[in-house]
């Protein structure tokens, strides 16, 4: 069966510091991968998605970036964090089957920028 891992689970970082969040998927090949952010009391916002190694699409312009160095690894980064980057970051994966592309989410990383 497929599993998705995210780490760290929680993170407290000062403003201006760098960020690296990692997501890995097991048990599937060539998945689509996604990064979402959920701000406190708000819905999920898609940040990036990737359909293959080195292929990244950005949905929202911001000071975050994403990379996919391996088939089942997705990394979210920032060079300098802002207060507004605080939130719950979720990674998801999907594989298209019979016309549907169901996304499965990881446990998330709760980021607090102080």
Partner 1 sequence: DAKTTQPPSMDCAEGRAANLPCNHSTISGNEYVYWYRQIHSQGPQYIIHGLKNNETNEMASLIITEDRKSSTLILPHATLRDTAVYYCIVSGAGSYQLTFGKGTKLSVIP
Question: Interface with partner 1 includes 35 (CB under 8 A)?
Answer: no
Point out which residues pair with 26 in neighbouring strands: 3
Q: State the SS3 of 33-93.
A: EEEEEECCCCCEEEEEEEEECCEEEECCCCCEEEEEEECCEEEEEECCCCHHHCEEEEEEE
Q: With contact defined as beta carbons under 8 Å apart, do 100 and 11 qualify?
A: no
Point out which residues pair with 4 in neighbouring strands: 25
Question: Interface with partner 1 includes 96 (CB under 8 A)?
Answer: yes
Q: Which is nearer to partner 1, 56 or 67 (CB)?
A: 56
Question: Interface with partner 1 includes 77 (CB under 8 A)?
Answer: no
Q: Which is nearer to partner 1, 20 or 96 (CB)?
A: 96
Out of 24, 66, 106, 113, the only residue in the binding site for partner 1 (CB under 8 A) is: 106
Out of 43, 54, 61, 69, the only residue in the binding site for partner 1 (CB under 8 A) is: 43
* Binding positions for partner 1, rule: CB under 8 A: 32, 34, 43-44, 46, 49, 57, 59, 88, 90, 92, 96, 99-108, 110
């Amino acid at each position: 069966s497929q599993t998705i891992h995210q780490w760290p689970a929680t993170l407290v970082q000062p403003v201006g510091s760098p960020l690296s969040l990692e997501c890995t998927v097991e048990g599937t090949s060539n998945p689509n991968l996604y990064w979402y952010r959920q701000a406190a009391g708000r819905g999920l916002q898609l940040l990036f998605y990737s359909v293959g190694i080195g292929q990244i699409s950005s949905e929202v312009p911001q000071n975050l970036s994403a990379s996919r160095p391996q088939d089942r690894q997705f990394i979210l980064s920032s060079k300098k964090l802002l207060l507004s980057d605080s939130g719950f970051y979720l990674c998801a994966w999907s594989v298209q089957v019979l016309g549907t592309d169901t996304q499965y989410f990881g446990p998330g990383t709760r980021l607090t920028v102080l």
